[in-house]
Structure 1
Amino acid sequence: LAEQTARCGISISEYCRTLALGGRPKERYTEEERELFREIARLKGTLQRLNNYFGGRQYREVFEENQALIKELKKILSR
């Protein structure tokens, strides 16, 4: 229990209270995971800028492929 609460960054009582109320305590991200999320956010921004640039008809395939990638990156970032 102590290990799990430490990974979540909350006290044992807060952990138990959350479970008792039907919740699920979330583990904190490691620094490596936070850096990965920052990198994903940067990639999403880059793809969005590319889409703004290639939004014309002649680049429709590039635009649509980037849109699909942006959606996937948004899913990852919303976790």
Structure 2
Amino acid sequence: MWTCKACNSPCRIRTSKSPLKRLTEVYADCQNPACGARWYGYYQIRTSTAVPQVQPPRGPEDENDFPYYQLEPSPGRAKEQRHDH
């Protein structure tokens, strides 16, 4: 949920569109009638904090895209990977 930066009241997302796979443009309106501020901003998904149980389908347009999750290897696995080279 977005919070109004002018009065700290909740904002309602009025419009959104996704120009890129993990970036969403958002237009939001403050719900405080005394304020009435309108905002424009972005939501961005950078990485996952847990491996998803189901992978979304990927098509040719995803060829150069990063995977949906990029978790760092555990310390033990990182050590193994260093010794593999």
- Common fold by TM > 0.5: no
Q: Greater helix share, 1 or 2? A: 1
TM-score, normalised to structure 1, is 0.24
TM-score (norm. length: structure 2):
0.23
More strand as a share of residues = 2
Q: Which has the higher contact order (CA 8 A, sep 6+)?
A: 1
